[in-house]
A and B are shown apart, each in its own frame.
Chain A
Amino acid sequence: MAGELIKKYKWHLVAIVVLYAAISLWLFFFTDSPQTVPFEYEIH
């Protein structure tokens, strides 16, 4: 069934992955500016 779905929706899959990639690239460039948030102290 998975093979059948991939075959049927392969261009949908490609389009959605490309959309996610475009959103990520936009986020990358849009927020690629000098640090404006406090030093992050939540991670340890």
Chain B
Amino acid sequence: MSARRFVEILFLIFVPLALFLILSELVLRVYLSSHMFYDVEMSRYALALKVDSPNPLIGHHHRPSSQATLMGVSIRTNADGFRDDEYPVAKGDRRRIMFLGDSLTLGWGVEKEQTFEHLLEARLNAITPTEIINLGIGNYNTTQELNLFIDKGAKYDPDQVVLFYFINDAEPVPQKSRFPGLGNYRIVTFYWSRLKALKARLSDSTGFKEYYSGLYREGSEGWARSKAALLQLKQLSREQGFDLRVVLLPEFHELVDYTFSKEHAIVTDFLRANEIPVLDLAPKFRNEREPQTLWVSMDDAHPNARAHRLIADYTINFIGETTGTWPAN
């Protein structure tokens, strides 16, 4: 092959590819100015608000005092990186509750005023002066939630800690993606996301069902770590004198014949065996025959504002049932 022919082949491979990537990036950016893709928004979240934590058990936390519009809503963080107002460390005369959790507790895709954290704070306030501090951070598992509480939450000396457990809390601590360009270029995120969806569609795998169930198989390291973290949190509750409760949030794909009943039973059995009060919300949603009406968007099964309101409705008694004995002397 002559040198000229070789150059021509390279030209026909790389020049159209470069042209396509540049044009696609421009078209996608215009399209995304009025539409949202979940994976693109999540990658924007990573770049805008997440920073590495020096604590490897936390992995990442939120950038303090920052703001970003993600999945169509504003997320503003306080000086501790929580999606919440600033709170003085010294406790006043209000009952102080702390919520631990992941993106569902954070209120991904939901305005702050419509999150179950905000709704519960307002409703509990009507019973007794209450403040709820939201430590929810996207992509957290139980180990990260525990360690964020130890690093940044315990100093607030809460009266009650409520951990909102989600089916994927038994995942290992997430590793930073090495995929080049992810987050910076929309076309890279688009192809990464859609090829992943294509693979799931063409394979025999049941996708998220198989994946989440697998987290609770015998000998699963992630679930073992979650159990250890829950026990450590129980130990802290005894030492520091706060009331510890766990709420199991449902996975919002199939609610009538709930997909993860067996896994929820594994978690509730463990918590009850260790005398940690637990509320499983999945049965409360069993009349929801159109689960997508509870999603943030079609490609994002996070709970939307209506789902947050229902979570607040179903949770308030469980969280507030200790209110009658407060303040404790």
Cβ B292 vs Cβ A36 within 8 A: no
Known: A43-B46, A44-B50. A38 touches B212 (CB 8 A): yes
Mark contacts of B250-281 with chain A using CB atoms, 8 A cut-off: 1 yes-contact digit, 0 otherwise: 00010000000000000000000000000000
Known: A37-B208, A44-B46. A27 touches B195 (CB 8 A): yes
**Assembled-state Cα–Cα distance A36/B17 (Å):** 30
For the side of the interface on A, what is the size category? Answer: 20 to 34
**Assembled-state Cα–Cα distance A32/B182 (Å):** 20
Cβ A13 vs Cβ B16 within 8 A: yes
Cβ B103 vs Cβ A39 within 8 A: yes
Contacts of B198 in A (CB 8 A): 27, 30-31
Q: Enumerate A1-44 residues with CB–CB distance to B below 8 Å.
A: 1-2, 5-6, 9, 12-13, 16-17, 20-21, 24, 27-28, 30-44
Cβ B24 vs Cβ A44 within 8 A: no
- Does B241 sit within 8 A of A, measured CB to CB? no
Among B7-15, B68-76, B117-125, B315-323, which stretch is in contact with chain A?
Answer: B7-15
Contact count A vs B, C-beta below 8 Å: 112
For the side of the interface on B, what is the size category? Answer: 35 or more
Contacts of B228 in A (CB 8 A): none
Interface residue from A1, A13, A27, A28 paired with B15 (Cβ < 8 Å):
A13
Interface residue from B138, B182, B194, B207 paired with A27 (Cβ < 8 Å):
B194
Contacts of A36 in B (CB 8 A): 197, 200-201, 207-208
Which chain B residue lies CB-closest to A8?
Answer: B8
Among B36-44, B83-91, B148-156, B304-312, which stretch is in contact with chain A?
Answer: B36-44
Residues on B lying within 8 angstroms of A by beta carbon are 7-8, 11-12, 15-17, 19-20, 23-24, 38-39, 42-43, 46, 50, 59-60, 103, 138-139, 168, 171, 174-177, 179, 182-183, 190-191, 193-198, 200-201, 207-208, 211-212, 253, 292, 295, 298-302
Interface pairs A-B: 10 shortest CB-CB: A16-B16, A31-B197, A20-B20, A41-B174, A36-B207, A38-B208, A42-B177, A38-B211, A44-B46, A27-B194
